[in-house]
Amino acid sequence: MLAKRLIPCLDVRDGKVVKGVQFRNHEIIGDIVPLAQRYAEAGADELVFYDITASSDGRVVDKSWVRRIAEVIDIPFCVAGGIKTIADAGKILEMGADKISVNSPALARPELINELNHNFGQQCVVVGIDSFFDVVSGQYQVYQFTGDESRTQKTQWLSRDWVAEVLSRGAGEIVLNCMNQDGVRQGYDIAQLRSIRDICTVPLIASGGAGTMQHFTDVFEKADVDGALAASVFHKGIIEIAALKAKLIADGISIRP
């Protein structure tokens, strides 16, 4: 049976992991390769590396760390951040990444999704969506440039409409980051994920809000997502992947032990 995926996300700047990281009480700050390796060995099903500066400051980013990760990692990994062209994506895939994820550049130029699909196949093309619940309008709205607070802005898109658009253009997977929940560890946004699940015919990954192990059970059971992405609970050692997997298996979720 196909397993639900647990996906730690690492924020990268200039080839270093930028958040303070604590992993099994060994504090590791900065070095991306051993950290990636530890997550793989601990049972992560996939990794996402998010170059947090790339989209928002417009410079050419050195991605040679992708090759160093590919050398040591034996699980799939995805690279996000700053991929604006077929050439950008091609370089990253050629260095050994399995997928590339696009967010703000796809909002700026949606044809990018078609081009990526055509050149590399649907399975490589992940679209990340930053969605914010606006209390006044009662609607979920898509934001861009969320890597840099000063440039973050609302787009013309409602989340459901943008999901339908990226699917029609050939996205192979969607990572839905629910911004209201991000970093507050109060649980995934089940209501929004369910509403997107209804229209999402490709794998859907939940992002934003994981704080306890129960939150993972809830999102798999109630929103039927294919994977759950989290950062701080793993980095800060609040949740250990092995313990989380044991709980999810006990709860009857299909998980790779």
Binding site for another protein (CB under 8 A): 1-5, 40, 45, 67, 70-72, 74-76, 90, 93-96, 98, 120-124, 172-173, 201-203, 226-227, 256-257
**Which residues are within 8 A (CB) of 243 and not within 5 positions of it... i.e. 6 or more apart?**
213
Nearer CB in complex with another protein: 95/158? 95
Q: With beta carbons less than 8 A apart as the criterion, state whether 103 and 130 touch.
A: yes
Q: What is the largest CA-CA distance in the chain?
A: 49
Nearer CB in complex with another protein: 95/238? 95
**Shortest Cβ 86–another protein spacing (Å):** 12
Nearer CB in complex with another protein: 13/91? 91
The DSSP-derived string for 137-182 is TTEEEEEE-TTSTTT-EEEEEEHHHHHHHHHHTT-SEEEEEETTTT
Nearer CB in complex with another protein: 130/226? 226
Rounded to whole angstroms, what are the CA distances from 201 to 169, 195, 198? 13, 12, 8
Q: How many CB atoms lie within 10 A of CB 196?
A: 25
**Shortest Cβ 27–another protein spacing (Å):** 26
Q: With beta carbons less than 8 A apart as the criterion, state whether 45 and 75 touch.
A: yes
Cα Rg of the chain (Å, integer): 17
Q: Can 161 be counted among the known catalytic residues?
A: no
**Shortest Cβ 16–another protein spacing (Å):** 22
Q: How many CB atoms lie within 10 A of CB 37?
A: 15
Which residue's entry shows tokens 């196949």? 121
Which residue's entry shows tokens 């700053």? 82
Which residue's entry shows tokens 């928002």? 56
Catalytic choice (45, 130, 218, 226)? 130
Nearer CB in complex with another protein: 73/107? 73
**Shortest Cβ 185–another protein spacing (Å):** 25
Nearer CB in complex with another protein: 156/201? 201
Helix-helix angle 241-250:32-42, to 10 degrees: 30
CA end-to-end span of the chain, whole Å?
13
Q: Can 130 be counted among the known catalytic residues?
A: yes
**Active site residues per annotation:** 11, 130
